[in-house]
Every structure is written in C-alpha cells, then in structure tokens.
A and B are shown apart, each in its own frame.
Chain A
Amino acid sequence: MSDYLWDPTSPPDPETERLERLLRPLRTKTAAPTLPQRTTRWMTPRFLGPALAAAAAVLLMVGATWRSDSQQIGWSIASVSGRPQVESIAAREGGRLAVGQAIVTDDSSRARIEVESIGAVTIDVNSRVRLVESRDSHQRLALDRGTLHAQIVAPPGQFVVDTPSARATDLGCVYTLHVDDDGVGLLSVQAGWVAFEFKGREVFVPSGASARTVPRAGPGTPRYDDVDQAFQDSLDEVDYGGDAKRTEPSLEYVLTHARRRDAMTLWHLVSRVDAAHRPAVVDALARLVPMPDGATRDAVMHLDRAALDGWWNALGLQDASWWRVWKREYPQ
C-alpha cells in the first residue's frame, strides 16, 4: 500500500490524490446542533434548597412504589389483528405489555409491540412472547414458540431475544426468529447483524443469512440463504449429525462447494470442528480468502482470537473489534 493512502502527509500518490480531489466537495460542512435544555440551569443554590426539600418529600411518598412502577413501563401494543391475549385477557391497541407478562397469538391473530427508542416487534400467528426485562439500555424478550419479526433502531446490544436454545442479540438490524414447539429455532437476518449465542457458543449472522438452533446444542453454523439444499443438509449434518461416518463426507461437501461468500460459513467452522478436521477447514477458507498479514496458521489452529478476528476482518463483512467493544459495554 502506498504510504500516502495511510498517511496524507506523505508524498502524494497521483491516483489517490485524484480521488481525494474529486470527493473533497462532499466533505461535511454542518455545524453542531443546539442541544435541547437539560436541568443544569436549575442547579444553583437559590433553587437547590427548596427543590431538594420538595424532592425529598416526593421521594418519600413515591419511593416505596418506584421499583414496581419502573417495572411496569414495558412495551406498548401498537396494533393487533384477531384476538391476541395478554395474560388471558384480550390485548388492545394502546395497551401495554409489562415485564413478566406474555402476549399470546392463536392461528388467526397477530400483534405489534414497540418502544420508540428501541424499535418494533411483530408477533406472528401461534406465538408466545414474554417481556423479561425492560430498562432504558436493555430490553429482553423471550420467544417460547412461534415467530417474531424484529425491526430494531436501538444501538447494537440493547435488544435481545431468548429462545429455548439460544439468545439472539441485535447488532442493528431487521430479522425473523422462529421457534418450533420442540424448541428448535431458525434465525433469518434481513438487514444488519445478529449474534446468536448459547453457553459461549456464538455465531454472527449477517444480512441474507440464517442459522438454526437446537435445544442443548445451541446455534448451528450460519449460511447464506442462497446456498443449495445439499450444502444446507451437509452443514446440518456437520452441526448436529453426530455420526462420524456421515459427518466427514458432509464436511468435505461443504468445503469443496463453498463459494467466495461462503467464507463466512467456513470461518465459523474453523472453531466449531474438532482439531482433526480443522486443517482441512483452514485450507479451504484460505483458498477463498487468504489469511491476512499478522495471522499465522499455527495461531488459527489454536483458535487464537486475534488471528481469527483478523481473518474475519479480511472477509470484508465488518470489522470484529466493534463487536468486542459492544460486549464489554453491554455484557449480557
């Protein structure tokens, strides 16, 4: 790479300089917005004394009920069709789903629940969804069975959905989550990303891809929705088959039929297969996307996180480090 591309104070590279010149008129020129007023102007001695006294009195009166009130904020029920129920009572538009309550739809009803700063969730027919937690920075639903469609506008990591076999953490996206009566789930992502996790087994599902999840086994390897059926079946066999005689040819099929974009799937397989099969997966992935500078085969074989993250970044999907930041910020 030319030094100029990295450091604009270096001697210019003509091609990069030409592109910069063309794009310079598009640079930002906007000024900072004026902030809406917060309460700081009231923080003066003149106001603080009486205000604190009044506040103390009010706090004494409402303190005992504050916790229960805060738990009742919940989600609003934006629309319903058919006869969905909240705790055996017909749900109505404008009503609320409080923490601890479940909304249930039958074969002819649907409901849409929302929180303005978080997004909206449409609950499909024959579904049961519970609101487990609702705080400003953390919203948690549980999908016991059925299907929900989530459109989330909150910052990544603030909205999660538990299923019987995995937890879906929104990373800024639109997705559909389905859970069968036996707890088997399917996550399909239409925009953005979802992290799917069960007992430390974690997958990242990008837009256009899906991942299954099975009770006690957790999420399977994500795959793009346009892979052929044989590829899907082979991958399921690798994830959940358990029969070595069938697993090996299935893995071989996946490795030999993976396209360039299926590097996303192979990257997940590197850490999911056992040590005996890992070299074949690493070789197949390297044929699709060369191992980046700084990562070594030995480090990848030992599942070194930095090496795997570096290779992930080389896939050109999205840098892994921001997700690490979010996991620190919002530990689940």
Chain B
Amino acid sequence: MTPAGRADRTPDGAALAATIRAAADGDQEAFGRLYAGYVRLVHAILLGRVPRIDVDDLVQDVFLAAYARLRELRDPAAFGGWIGAIARNRATDFLRQRRPEVELPAELPGGDAIAAESLAVLDAIRKLPEAYRDTLMLRLVEGMSGNEIAERTGLTPASVRVNLHRGMKLLREKLS
C-alpha cells in the first residue's frame, strides 16, 4: 500500500535499483529522478548545519560527489542513508574550512527576503540535537510526511515518530 502523503517522485525497490544503475552509467534523466527524490533530504540536512547562502551550492556538490561514487553503493535500499551521510560529511568539512562568518540580519534594507520570524524558527531548529533537527527540517521545511521521512532516510517509522514528537516538544520550549 502506498504510504500516506508519499511523494510520487521517488522510485523505490527494483525501480530505485534500476535508476541508480542508469544514473551511475551517466544517464542524466535517471540522475534527475534520483535528484528529485532525494534533494529535499540533502537540502534539509545542509540547511540545518550551514549558512543558507551556501546551501544550494553544497546540495549540488553532494549530488555530484554521490554520482562519482554511485557504483560503490551495493545496496540500493541504503541510498537515502548513504547520501544523507555524504551531506553531513560535506557540511562538517565545509564548516571546518570556512572563515568565521555571521549571517546578516533579515531586516537590513535590500537584505533577506525571508521574514525574521522564519529565521528565528530556523535558528531554534538548528540548535536541537541532530536527530530531531534533521527530522523536523524534513517535516516543517520540506513538507514531508512521517512515512516519507522514514522511507528517504532509512529510519524506522517508529524512530521518526519519536524524533518528531520529542523534537517538536523541544522546539516549542525554545520558541517560548
């Protein structure tokens, strides 16, 4: 049965394995399908860790790095966890190498189009423990359902449910 709220862009099972094989062979269309299915996962992981201005570039880096190593992936079902780990590593590497920077406040003239309140919520989520942070980013920023999050990340639905519940509780405390 199709899980509730599941996105229709992610191939699964045998289709995912075929897509990965084709993408590994350089098929841009297959790679595009992988990208569409997992870009929200990668974006959410990066947005929870690095400055917003760098996120889009790093998303591209992560997918190109995954493409370069795609033939090493033996279990297609592990793709979500695999590319998620690449994204976390890339974020760690980026933060280690960059010079210290401060994100400009949103209210500067001609500055950020994102509302200050939105950035305050983002900042609060970034301060949560890693497991809660990633799960809440996927749910609240990327709009994924609990089942979708479990499917993309490789976590069990029970783990996702716990992360959502406890993460939301901590987020409420931080925002209050």
Given contacts A24-B143, A28-B43, contact A317 B130 (CB under 8 A): yes
**Are A22 and B121 neighbours in the complex by a CB distance under 8 Å?**
yes
A300–chain B nearest beta-carbon distance, Å: 16
**Which of chain A's residues has its CB closest to B125's CB?**
A23
B68–chain A nearest beta-carbon distance, Å: 8
**Are B145 and A6 neighbours in the complex by a CB distance under 8 Å?**
yes
Annotate B140-152 by CB proximity to A: 1 below 8 A, 0 otherwise.
1111011100000
In B15-60, which residues have CB < 8 Å from any A CB?
25-28, 31-32, 35-36, 39-40, 43, 47, 52, 56, 59-60
Quick check: is A16 within 8 A (CB to CB) of the other chain? yes
Taking a contact as CB atoms closer than 8 A, the residue among B36, B96, B113, B159 that contacts A32 in the complex is B36
**Are B122 and A26 neighbours in the complex by a CB distance under 8 Å?**
yes
Quick check: is A91 within 8 A (CB to CB) of the other chain? no
**Which of chain B's residues has its CB closest to A119's CB?**
B93
**Are B115 and A174 neighbours in the complex by a CB distance under 8 Å?**
no
Task: Please classify the interface of chain B as helix (H, G, I), strand (E, B), loop, or mixed, using the class held by over half of its residues.
Answer: helix
Residues of B in contact, count (CB < 8 Å):
72
List of A residues within 8 angstroms of B161 by Cβ = 1, 6
Quick check: is B1 within 8 A (CB to CB) of the other chain? no
Taking a contact as CB atoms closer than 8 A, the residue among B85, B153, B162 that contacts A172 in the complex is B85
**Which of chain A's residues has its CB closest to B36's CB?**
A32
List of B residues within 8 angstroms of A153 by Cβ = 89-90, 92-93
Taking a contact as CB atoms closer than 8 A, the residue among A27, A28, A329 that contacts B78 in the complex is A329
Quick check: is B99 within 8 A (CB to CB) of the other chain? no
List of A residues within 8 angstroms of B47 by Cβ = 26
B154–chain A nearest beta-carbon distance, Å: 5
**Are A30 and B121 neighbours in the complex by a CB distance under 8 Å?**
no
**Are B121 and A316 neighbours in the complex by a CB distance under 8 Å?**
no
**Are B88 and A7 neighbours in the complex by a CB distance under 8 Å?**
no
Best-surrounded residue of A34, A36, A155 (most CB of chain B within 10 A):
A155
**Are B96 and A321 neighbours in the complex by a CB distance under 8 Å?**
no
List of A residues within 8 angstroms of B115 by Cβ = 22, 25
Quick check: is B8 within 8 A (CB to CB) of the other chain? no
Give the CA-CA distance A314 to B162 in the complex, in Å: 7
Taking a contact as CB atoms closer than 8 A, the residue among B5, B25, B59, B63 that contacts A38 in the complex is B25
**Are B140 and A23 neighbours in the complex by a CB distance under 8 Å?**
yes
Taking a contact as CB atoms closer than 8 A, the residue among B63, B64, B129, B164 that contacts A6 in the complex is B164
Give the CA-CA distance A47 to B68 in the complex, in Å: 24
Quick check: is A292 within 8 A (CB to CB) of the other chain? yes
Taking a contact as CB atoms closer than 8 A, the residue among A6, A25, A310, A318 that contacts B130 in the complex is A318
**Are B146 and A6 neighbours in the complex by a CB distance under 8 Å?**
yes
Give the CA-CA distance A296 to B27 in the complex, in Å: 48
Annotate A123-164 by CB proximity to B: 1 below 8 A, 0 otherwise.
000000000000011000000000000011111100000000
Annotate A285-325 by CB proximity to B: 1 below 8 A, 0 otherwise.
00000001110000000000000001001101111011001
List of B residues within 8 angstroms of A192 by Cβ = 88-89, 92
**Which of chain B's residues has its CB closest to A30's CB?**
B56
In B66-96, which residues have CB < 8 Å from any A CB?
67, 69, 72-75, 78, 81-82, 84-86, 88-90, 92-93, 96
Quick check: is A8 within 8 A (CB to CB) of the other chain? yes
B98–chain A nearest beta-carbon distance, Å: 14
Quick check: is A251 within 8 A (CB to CB) of the other chain? no
Annotate A209-234 by CB proximity to B: 1 below 8 A, 0 otherwise.
00000000000000000000000000
A319–chain B nearest beta-carbon distance, Å: 5
Quick check: is A40 within 8 A (CB to CB) of the other chain? yes
B83–chain A nearest beta-carbon distance, Å: 9
List of A residues within 8 angstroms of B39 by Cβ = 28, 30, 32
Give the CA-CA distance A28 to B96 in the complex, in Å: 24
Taking a contact as CB atoms closer than 8 A, the residue among A8, A136, A156, A322 that contacts B143 in the complex is A8
A11–chain B nearest beta-carbon distance, Å: 13
**Which of chain A's residues has its CB closest to B89's CB?**
A172
Quick check: is A33 within 8 A (CB to CB) of the other chain? yes
In A106-123, which residues have CB < 8 Å from any B CB?
117
Quick check: is A240 within 8 A (CB to CB) of the other chain? no
Given contacts A23-B141, A326-B85, A329-B82, 7 further A-B contacts (CB under 8 A): A1-B161, A27-B141, A153-B93, A155-B69, A155-B85, A325-B75, A326-B81
Top-5 shortest CB links A-B:
A38-B26, A32-B35, A28-B43, A316-B129, A6-B146
Q: What are 22 A-B pairs at a CB distance below 8 A?
A: A1-B161, A5-B164, A6-B164, A7-B4, A8-B5, A16-B168, A19-B121, A20-B143, A23-B140, A28-B40, A32-B35, A34-B28, A35-B67, A172-B85, A192-B89, A293-B162, A310-B162, A317-B129, A317-B130, A321-B159, A322-B153, A326-B81
